[in-house]
Amino acid sequence: MQNNHTITVLKLSLIVVGMFGFGFAMVPLYDLLCEVTGLGGKTGGAYAYDPVVARIDKSRLIKVNFITNTNAGMPWQFWSDKGGVRVHPGELKDAKFYIKNTTERRMIGQAVASVVPFSAAEYFHKTECFCFSSQMLEPGEQMELRLRFIVDLKLPKNVQTISLSYALFDVTNFAAAEHANPYLPNRTST
């Protein structure tokens, strides 16, 4: 009888350990799901642009809106010089954004991008983006940031307008190590 219980308890403990692991496995699974479906408007990392293969579809003109937000408690100013641009699919386009540290202390900011509608997220490629790394600003310092992007030729036909939204977070406490040691890789890719 006692032996019987031991086997049962061991089997059941395996379920417990397995499900504890499954809870953590949901983190990469969720990221994978978001990448595949564009869920949450996540846009992926740097895109390798090949100018030889690239073709521009002059028949379509897509409006790309730029939205800049600072997260609650982030005192910096964050803006783009134009509210948006019009772009042909396949065309490489540049945009400029600005951040200014309005405080009296050195701070580090990190912008996080998302795209609406979600169905456009996987067709919006950034070849260069300030959001690939965090920015450190001295008190009162202002910085110009560059975004270079391309809208994929395969963008669904029903999408006429894409809104690219950036939320700027205060990561001074998080990213200090990264800026102290320039040889460390960046901790985020989006």
Partner 1 sequence: MSEVAVDRHLDHHDVGPAKGLTRWLFTTNHKDIGTLYLWFSFLMLLIGGGMALVIRSELFEPGLQFVDPAFFNQMTTNHGLIMVFGAIMPAFVGLANWLLPMMLGAPDMALPRMNNLSFWILPFAFAMLLSTLFMEGGGPNFGWTFYAPLSTTYAPDSVTFFIFAIHLIGASSIMGSINIIATILNMRAPGMTLMKMPLFVWTWLITAYLLLAVMPVLAGVVTMMLFDIHFETSFFNAAGGGDPILFQHIFWFFGHPEVYIMILPAFGVVSQIIPTFARKPLFGYDSMVYATASIAFLSFIVWAHHMFAVGMPLAGQLFFMYATMLISVPTGVKVFNWVSTMWRGSMSFETPMLFSIAFVILFTIGGFSGLMLAIAPADYQYHDTYFVVAHFHYVLVPGALFTIIAAVYYWLPKWCGRMYDESLGKLHFWLSFIGVNVTFFPQHFSGLAGMPRRVPDYALQFADFNMVSSIGAFIFGFSQLVFLYTVIKAIRSGTPATHRVWDSAHGLEWTLPSPAPYHSFTSPPNVTEAEAHS
142 vs 186 by CB, closer to partner 1? 186
The whole-angstrom separation of Cα 60 and Cα 162 is 13
Residue 163 CB, shortest distance to partner 1, in Å, is 13
Residue 55 CB, shortest distance to partner 1, in Å, is 29
27 vs 53 by CB, closer to partner 1? 27
DSSP E strands: which ranges in 81-153? Answer: 84-87, 92-100, 107-116, 124-129, 135-137, 142-151
Q: Contact residues for partner 1 (CB under 8 A)?
A: 1, 4-5, 8-9, 12-13, 15-20, 22-24, 26-27, 30, 34, 37, 39-40, 71, 110, 112, 118, 167, 169-171, 173-174, 187-190
Residues in the chain: 190
Residues 6+ apart with CB under 8 A from 96: 80, 81, 144, 145, 146, 147
Residue 137 CB, shortest distance to partner 1, in Å, is 16
Q: Which two tokens stand for residue 16?
A: 């417990």
Q: Contact at 8 Å (CB) between 166 and 67?
A: yes
20 vs 79 by CB, closer to partner 1? 20
87 vs 131 by CB, closer to partner 1? 131
